[in-house]
Amino acid sequence: MPSPTKESTIPSLPPALMTTTLQPPPSPNTHRLRKLQSAHNLGAKASMMGTPSLISQQRLQQQQQHHSQHHPLQRSGSPVRRNVSASNRSPQRGRANSDAAMANPFNSMMTPARRNLLSTRNHLADAMSLERLIRDGPVDGDVTGSLESARLKILNQGIKSDADGMSSLRIYVWLILLDSPILDTDSYLSLIHRGASPAYSKIRNDTFRTLTTDPLFRRRVSEASLIRLLNAIAWKLHDAREDRLGKPQGGGRPSLAQIEERPSTSSGAVSTDSPSQTSSPAVRQRARALTLTTEGSESSGVSEPGTYVQGMNVLAAPFLYAARSEAEAFIAFYQFLTKECPGYIRGAMDGVHKGLALVDKVLAIVDPKLSSYLLTKNLSAEIYAFPSVLTLCACTPPLPEVLRLWDFLFAFGPHLNILCIVAQLMLIRNEILTSPSPNKLLRSFPALQADQIKNLAVNILRKIPDDVYAEIISHAK
């Protein structure tokens, strides 16, 4: 296995996944559809039958293993990263696979118990390129081994992309790692044709501010595309909420075309300081309506909690940038929100606040001096790290580095973003400690360096206690 991050927290895939019925193969003349089909073959189909995602199933299995070994856990739903010695090694775990076909750069950081999960890899898949593995699907039907081999390739080699971060392969890899079900385009279009969702005003008040300083994103992704995606997500979450409450799913909203378009400047940014700064009465009225609707939406019931929160626009941006269609971006984003971090968009975003507390806790463990200095300046993570936790660091440019970091996070767990944020702090440790006003430095983190952050995050992982890591895994649920 490529890294300690998932070797200890993600065991082998459940047998039920191995017998899942595959969809009929698409036309051999359509290369893109072949790639998408094999992506779903390599990923899980269990989600189509209402079962948890790959990562959720693996975490549950790991939790059950720990309970059977009477591991002392305060949280019943939290799997734990374990340092297992020869004396207490689980019977299912043998010795390390020291003659693995592919070299793992993190082997020196890993205990033998963690390295042992490398033996689940399929060595025929090891010999294949990542692109061929995604295109052709699991080798000899070995989903578990092929998936582990793919993760190791992502860690060792990355996903090939150009200078702008564009890759025809990336979205398919993300769909696999997120265990996304197949979605036909008509299902996405049906959500679009329903018109404005209950969260539409909030969405419109955020989308024009999304990555406004990033020319790569602005050139490739239109605001209209981002609005459609977020509005469709809001409808989907709204329907799920209505189902839980036993209410009929409603339409009756005006279509997007019937809603007055928000004026925009040539730069794509609109001043929100005051409605009086706009030029015409109609524009002032529109700006005031957007502001009032957004600010009072939670209390007034206009936008229900759990359908849209501020910041989802930035979180959606990399999905649209990497995807080859809005429908692909939609299903990957929806799967991410509902399976990996539902706590980030639920109610008062409790998952985000738990993540911020964990940033402080981890920093105090791995670098007490830096942690103490920040606290003496009244700088807790709540002040400087909120955007980084909520958006998985997508708020920090450059976008190509965000995509590379997300490859790592999707392969080994989005919860590792907590460690990646601590890693960013440690990379600028000297500047923080020598700055009389580190608040100015932390208002915007330095440009992302995905490889350095990944390496340091894995090193941080070795230093934190098992109970803290269990909290990190479960904080976004």
Give mean pLDDT, residues 394-405.
Answer: 96
Helix axis angle, 223-245 to 326-335, nearest 10°: 40
**Dihedral (C-alpha) 337, 342, 343, 344: value to the nearest 10 degrees?**
20
Among the listed residues 239, 233, 255, the one whose alpha carbon sits nearest the alpha carbon of residue 319: 233
Mapped onto helix, strand or coil, the DSSP state of residue 461 is helix
Among the listed residues 257, 285, 245, 242, the one whose alpha carbon sits nearest the alpha carbon of residue 200: 257
Among the listed residues 152, 144, 177, 169, the one whose alpha carbon sits nearest the alpha carbon of residue 40: 177
Query: Which tens digits make up the pLDDT trace of 112-163?
Result: 333 333 446 777 888 888 888 888 888 888 888 888 888 989 988 899 999 9
Tell me what the pLDDT averaged over the chain comes to: 73
Place of tokens 């601590």: 422
Whether residue 357 is predicted with pLDDT greater than 50 in this model: the reply is yes
Give mean pLDDT, residues 313-325.
Answer: 96
pLDDT score recorded for residue 145? 87
Go through the domains of the chain in sequence order and give each one's CATH number. Answer: 4-157 (no CATH), 185-261+270-334 (no CATH), 342-474 (1.10.472.80)
Q: Quick one: which H or E segment has residue 241?
A: helix 223-245
Whether residue 40 is predicted with pLDDT greater than 70 in this model: the reply is no
Whether residue 388 is predicted with pLDDT greater than 90 in this model: the reply is yes
Whether residue 194 is predicted with pLDDT greater than 50 in this model: the reply is yes
Whether residue 384 is predicted with pLDDT greater than 80 in this model: the reply is yes
Q: What percent of the chain has pLDDT over 90?
A: 49
Q: What percent of the chain has pLDDT over 70?
A: 62
DSSP 276-303: GGSSSHHHHHHHHHHHHHHHTHHHHTSS
DSSP 165-226: ---TTHHHHHHHHTTPPP--HHHHHHHHTT---TTHHHHHHHHTTTTTT-HHHHHH--HHHH
Instruction: Look at 155-169, 222-236, 363-377 and tell me which has the smallest mean pLDDT.
Output: 155-169
Rounded distance, CA 326 to CA 295, Å? Answer: 29
324 phi, psi to nearest 5 deg: -100, -5
pLDDT score recorded for residue 119? 47
